[in-house]
Structure formats: C-alpha cells, structure tokens
Chains A and B, each alone.
Chain A
Amino acid sequence: MSDRILAATRKGLFTIERTGKGKSGWSITKTSFLAEHVIMTLPDRRDGSWYASLYHGHFGSKLHRTTDKGETWQEIAVPAYPRQPEGEVQKDMWGRVIEWKLDRIWALEAGGVNESGVLWCGTLPGGLFRSSDHGTTWNLVESLWNDPRRQEWMGGGADLPGIHSVCVDPRDARHVTIGISCGGVWVTHDGGASWDCRGEGIWSAYTPPDQKQNPNVQDVHRVVQCPAHPDALWAQHHNGIFRTTDGSATWQDVSNLKSLSPTSFGFAVAVHPTDSNTAWFVPGVKDEHRLPPDGKVVVARTRDGGQTFDILRNGLPQDHAYDLTYRHGLDIDGSGNRLTFGSTTGSIWVTEDQGDSWQAISEHLPPIYCVRFAD
C-alpha cells in the first residue's frame, strides 16, 4: 500500500502523502520546482530515488534526481541525439522534417528489479534511450532509431512522434514493450538489440482504409502491463480500448460495448497489479472535443477482461466538470486498491477501494501531467 503520490504539473512537482488530515486524508506535503514545467516523474522503487523531467520553454529538457525524497535535487544528464549524417533529411509520415534533437522526455521507467541503475527513457521525436548508471549517461537505442520503419511514425497530439510507454517484463528485463504516438506497439526480447512492431487487431479510423490495420501507424495513447501476468497488456488507443493476453502478438478490441457507454476515447489506463482482467480508464469525448462526457468526470472499470465495464462516479464532479486526464495522469499502487488520477484543470482524486468511491485531494493544482504512487 503506497502512502505517497507524486504529481508532476505545469507549475511544479507536488508530493502528496496520506496524513489522515482533511476530507480526503491526503495532503500536499512538499513542492519542488515551483513554477517549472514538470512533465514526467519516476519514483524508482529499487533504490528509493525519484526522478523529475523538466521542460523549460527556453532552456530545453532537463532531468533531476533526488535520493532524499525531494529534500535536495541534483541535475543529471539528459538523453542526447547523435549528429545526423551529413546531407540526410528525415521526414515523418506526413512529410515533416524530423530533426535529431531532444524535444522532450515523455516516458521514464526503471529497468529490471536486478538491474540497479538501469533506466529507460522515451522521447520526442521518437528516440528510446537507456541508462545503466542512474541517468548519469544515456545511450540511444540505435537498433530502433535506425530501423527504417521508424520514419513512418508521426505525431499524435504533438507535432513529433513520441515514445510514451515503456513496459519492462518482471520475468525478464530484456523483454521490453513500448508504445508510440503514433507508431504502435514495439517489442524487444533481447534488451533492445532487435525490435518487432506488434499490433494485429489494432485499427485506426484516422488513416486511409489501406492503412487502417498497419501496426506502425497506430496511435496507442498509453500501454500498461500487468506485473503478475506480463503477457497481458492494455492499450488506450485513439480509437478505443484494446487488450492482449499473448504479449501483444494479437489484440482484441473491447471498445464497442454498451457498458462502456458513453465513450471509449481517452488517454490513460491502469491495470491491477495481480489481476490482469481488471483495468481502469478515464473516458473523454472523442476526439476533437476531449472533454468529460456531459461534463461529468467518470472512471470506467472492467473486472472481466473488457467484457463489461462499470462507470464509476461516486465522489467525482458531475456538474459542468471539464477535467481531461492525460496519458500519464492515472496510476495504481502495488496493492491494487488505491488509484489516483489528475486532470488538466488541476484536480486530483484518490480511491482506496478500487474506484468505488473517490475523494478529491485538491481541485486547485496546476494542470497535471503525471501522477505516480511512491514509497
């Protein structure tokens, strides 16, 4: 059971703890990087360190690390792209030039339990980086970056393509699954030496018909993996919700269910740590609207692998609420009972009963990009 939440926002990183005080029992206890654009955070359970990625409008992307729960932070290296071969111009699927430069960090994950110091970092414009020394140095995963299929990727919600999800298999840390907007789901079984684009069954409505089932153009908004059953993954996709139980070889569309009404659009997904049939989503009206359906914030939960969904709203605003939850804005703790999600309008909620009831921790934070339970 985690008693601490990190919330990365447009104006800083907030530490929230279960103090037992106030209506929710959770309180903001620390503010780091106030006024800065913190777009990603990672609490590394292997050694207790936390990471925060800052996106300065002028000064570029930066990474910071703390080993004392945010009392002090040290700036560490950011991933750096190699210089592009002379005279070479790369373009995305739409013909827009892709520069070999770090735009921003969009995913930050710990390596395997026994890989102390190993970190994975997904970025815009689509490079995946690996560190083996707690982020002191970074190496571009060249096998993926140099794969010609990478140049089919395109921006989804951003001008540039980006890697937003990195799932490291608890059984074998060389097995890594990543999600790209827009580039589908890619898998390595050899620590990144080689990659396959997987996604049979995933389809898109935003491409010409002959591209509908091209796995390499799929806009998976977020991919999560069940820690206890790593072959089971869930994807919130631009066109719905998909699930795999065979390590992403094949995916099933569970979007067109009446119980999922009113919408299967959204960005965030969380899966129960031991029950791969149980997952949560934060719906929004697709896709040009991106608002809660009918101005009511709800969470969709399935307990049967996507055959049926419960729409959860107890404790969530049901009147003129326009909170949107981004792809990293939902998290679940190790017990599987506590979840938290944050919104673009600065609200953050927590549940301690798997979503049956929610409490607002704050409704006045800056826009929230990422929430994560921490030890």
Chain B
Amino acid sequence: MPRVVFTENIQRHVPCPPTEAHGVTVREVLDAVFTSNERARGYVLDEHGAVRKHMVIFIDGTMIRDRITLADSVVPSSEIYVMQALSGG
C-alpha cells in the first residue's frame, strides 16, 4: 500500500502519523486516510477537495501535477509526502 507522510508542522494542530492506505491515485489514498482522520482533511484540502494554495504534495519525490482532482497515479510502493509550501510564510 502507498505510504503517506505529513509535514511535522501539521502535527501540533491535528495528529497525522505516517499511514498506509489503499488507492491508485492521490485522491483515493488521501480519501482513505482522511476517512479515519476527518479533521486533517481541511488542513490539507480546501472545501472543494483541491490542495490548499500553500500546501504541496510529492509522490516519490515528484510534485503532483493535478492539484484540483488529485488524479496523479500512485503504485503500492509509493511514498506520498504532504508538505508546506514556502510560499505560505
């Protein structure tokens, strides 16, 4: 299963431990993670499910291209990093 790792700075607002979850796209994996950690969803995604303006997501070291629908593909060995963009201050 893909593994999701969250920025350390999110932890003081909502605990987000590294998690493995099923899915073949970033959307599917994150949905699976947020189903069991609903509060974290709003810290990473906006009310329409897009990546927040000053958040970034990497798959195996490459930034995702689709920040709106999160359709970028993942494989079972993928590591997904949910990080802060420096643009957010």
Interface size class of B (residues with CB under 8 A): 10 to 19
A79-97 with Cβ < 8 A to chain B: 80-81, 83
Q: How many A-B contacts if CB must be within 8 Å?
A: 38
A78 and B42 within 8 A (CB): yes
A60 and B39 within 8 A (CB): no
- Which residue from chain A places its CB closest to the CB of B84 in the assembled complex? A58
- Which residue from chain A places its CB closest to the CB of B47 in the assembled complex? A80
Residues on A with C-beta less than 8 A from B55 are 58-59
B47 and A101 within 8 A (CB): yes
- Which residue from chain A places its CB closest to the CB of B46 in the assembled complex? A101
How distant is the Cα of A58 from the Cα of B88 in the complex, in angstroms? Answer: 5
Q: Which residue from B39, B47, B48, B85 sits with its C-beta under 8 Å from A58?
A: B85
Residues on B with C-beta less than 8 A from A59 are 10, 13, 42-44, 52, 55
Q: Is B61 an interface residue (CB 8 A)?
A: no
Residues on B with C-beta less than 8 A from A62 are 13, 42
Q: How far is the CB of A56 from chain B (nearest CB, A)?
A: 7
B54 and A83 within 8 A (CB): no
Residues on B with C-beta less than 8 A from A80 are 47
A60 and B43 within 8 A (CB): yes
Q: Is A102 an interface residue (CB 8 A)?
A: yes
How distant is the Cα of A59 from the Cα of B52 in the complex, in angstroms? Answer: 7
Q: Is B9 an interface residue (CB 8 A)?
A: yes
How distant is the Cα of A100 from the Cα of B48 in the complex, in angstroms? Answer: 9
B13 and A56 within 8 A (CB): yes
Which one of A57, A58, A102 has the highest number of Cβ atoms from chain B below 10 Å of its Cβ? A58
Q: Is A246 an interface residue (CB 8 A)?
A: no
How distant is the Cα of A80 from the Cα of B49 in the complex, in angstroms? Answer: 11
Q: Is A75 an interface residue (CB 8 A)?
A: yes
Which one of A60, A75, A102 has the highest number of Cβ atoms from chain B below 10 Å of its Cβ? A60
Q: Which residue from A57, A75, A102 sits with its C-beta under 8 Å from B47?
A: A102
Residues on B with C-beta less than 8 A from A78 are 42
B43 and A83 within 8 A (CB): no
How distant is the Cα of A102 from the Cα of B85 in the complex, in angstroms? Answer: 19
B22-44 with Cβ < 8 A to chain A: 39, 42-44
How distant is the Cα of A83 from the Cα of B55 in the complex, in angstroms? Answer: 20
Q: Which residues of A contact B (CB under 8 A)?
A: 56-60, 62, 75, 78, 80-81, 83, 100-102
Report, nearest first, the 8 A-B pairs whose CB atoms are least far apart.
A80-B47, A57-B88, A58-B88, A57-B89, A59-B43, A58-B84, A58-B54, A101-B46
Interface contacts beyond A59-B44, A59-B52, A101-B47: sample of 10 additional A-B pairs, CB < 8 Å, sorted by A: A57-B89, A58-B55, A58-B84, A59-B42, A59-B55, A60-B42, A60-B43, A60-B46, A60-B52, A101-B46
**Can you spell out 7 A-B residue pairs with CB atoms less than 8 angstroms apart?**
A56-B13, A57-B54, A58-B84, A59-B43, A60-B46, A60-B52, A101-B48
